[in-house]
Amino acid sequence: MARDAEAAGLIKPLDDAERRQSRIDTMAARPDGADIWIFGYGSLMWNPAFHYVERRIARLHGYHRSFCLQTPIGRGSPECPGLVLGLDRGGSVQGLALRIAEDQAEEELDVIWAREMLAGSYRPAWVTLVDEAGGRFHAIAFVMRRDCERYAGRLSFEETADRIARATGRLGPCSEYLERTVSAMDEIGIADGPMHALRARVRALKRELEGHPDE
- The residues annotated as belonging to the active site are 116
CA angle 19, 24, 30 (to 5 degrees): 130
Residue 88 neighbours by CB under 8 Å, 6+ apart: 63, 64, 66, 68, 144, 146, 154
Listed in order, strand segments (DSSP E) in 101-203 are 122-131, 136-144, 168-169, 172-173
Output b/e per residue, 112-143; b: 16+ Cβ within 10 A.
bbbebbbbbbbbbeebebbeeeeeebbbbbbb
- Cα distances from 48 to residues 9, 98, 113, in angstroms, run 28, 9, 12
- Asked if 42 and 144 touch (Cβ cutoff 8 Å), the reply is no
CA angle 174, 9, 47 (to 5 degrees): 35
Closest to 117 measured CA to CA, from 19, 2, 4 = 19
Rounded CA separation 213/215 (Å): 6
Closest to 205 measured CA to CA, from 160, 170, 171, 169 = 160
